[in-house]
Amino acid sequence: MSQQVTKDMTFAQVMRMHQDAVKVLAKYNLGCVGCMGAQNESLEQGCGAHGLNVDDVVRDLNALF
C-alpha cells in the first residue's frame, strides 16, 4: 500500500515520509526544515498562514509516491 500525504499531517511527518518532500515544500517557499513549528503545525495550518492552497501542496507531495 502506498503512502499518502493528508492536510492534517504535520510538516515533520511529511518530511520523514520522503527525502524529496523538502524540495516540494521549498518550491512553495516553505522553509520547514529549520522551523520550530514543523513539529506541531499541520500542512493546512502552515499553508494557511503562508497564504497557500493546501490542496496544491498536498497534490505535489503525493506525486512523490
Is 11-63 a CATH 3.40.50.300 domain?
A: no
* Cα Rg of the chain, angstroms: 10
Q: Which residue has the cell 502506498?
A: 2
Residue 57 · residue 13 · CB < 8 Å: no
Identify the band that residue 62 occupies on the pLDDT scale cut at 50, 70 and 90.
very high
Instruction: For residue 42, give the 3-state DSSP assignment.
Output: strand
Identify the band that residue 2 occupies on the pLDDT scale cut at 50, 70 and 90.
low
Work out the average pLDDT over 50-56: 97
Give the angle subtended at the CA of 4 by the CAs of 42 and 50, to the nearest 5°.
Answer: 30
**Per-residue confidence (pLDDT) for residue 1, from 0 to 100:** 52
* Identity of the residue numbered 63: A
Residue 9 · residue 42 · CB < 8 Å: yes
The residue ranges of every structural domain in the chain are 11-63
pTM recorded for the entire structure: 0.89
pLDDT in tens, 11-52: 999 999 999 999 999 999 998 777 777 889 999 999 999 999
